[in-house]
Amino acid sequence: MQSLPNGYRAIVIGASGAIGAALVEALRGDAACAEVVALGRRPGSHSNALGEPGIDVLSEASIAAAAQALTGRAPFHVVVNATGALHLDGTAPEKRLAQLNADGLMRAFAINAVAPALLIKHFTPLLPSAGRSLFASLSARVGSIGDNRKGGWYGYRASKAAQNMLVKTAAIEVARRRPEAVLAALHPGTVASRLSAAVIGDAPVTAPADAAAHLLAVLDALTPAQSGGFFAYDGSAIAW
């Protein structure tokens, strides 16, 4: 991460997933990075190899407790939210209106929109008050309203679109106290993972390690003027 000071610290939330784990490894491989906190669902798991507590992103109390536990180690210059869900309780994304149900939609929003908003609420205070800092939340191109040409995937599309708005709105507020902070919603592409395995078929996919490298490069290049934006793994802006 060329844009950050030597000895910067990072947090990856959702480190037990394919992209999250790859982000942890990439950041740990950066000689300039002094510490990477990997937060996953279970304490003592691979993602929590440093003994960090588990985090349940569906519980604000759990999110707040995890952030509070890291306060003494702040500031952190990079925070990445790598959580999200396409399949809910083993159910495939809806292809037709007839498949919609209230519980499924509420759960999609809880995981893909509410959780990222609460992570921003509790973890942006760990960013430095002065100097450059980065907060990224993994979104998806299908969350673009302007780019929606195929329909379907109602809950996933809508919840990711909501996340994008929450990131944009939070960026405006965060900039008032941290003018050099950059918040961004990032599309990682189609990555080989449990989330995508059931829907990609024979389509080409990106290895998690390559996806992590692309995402960090994009984040590293963003400027405060681009804070709140929605970007793909190649650095291109995505239509809202």
> What CATH number belongs to 8-232?
3.40.50.720
Domain segments of the chain as ranges: 8-232
165, exposed or middle or buried, with CB in 10 Å at 0-12, 13-18, 19+?
Answer: middle
129 and 177 Cβ atoms separated by less than 8 Å: yes
Residue percentage of the chain with pLDDT more than 90:
86
Q: What single DSSP character describes residue 93?
A: P
pLDDT in tens, 156-207: 999 999 999 999 999 999 999 999 999 999 999 999 876 566 666 566 789 9
Amino acid at residue number 40: G
Least confident of 8-17, 43-52, 83-92, 177-186: 43-52
pLDDT of residue 52: 75
pLDDT in tens, 97-123: 999 999 999 999 999 999 999 999 999
Residue that wins the pLDDT comparison between 41 and 51: 41
Q: In what order do the strands lie in the sheet with 33-39?
A: 33-39, 8-13, 78-81, 133-138, 181-187, 229-232
Calculate mean pLDDT across residues 132-141: 98
Mean pLDDT of the chain: 93
pLDDT of residue 48: 44
Residue percentage of the chain with pLDDT more than 70:
92
Q: Which residues pair with 94 in a beta bridge?
A: none
38 and 24 Cβ atoms separated by less than 8 Å: yes
pLDDT in tens, 20-30: 999 999 999 99
Residue 91 confidence (pLDDT) above 60: yes
3-class DSSP assignment, residue 206 = strand
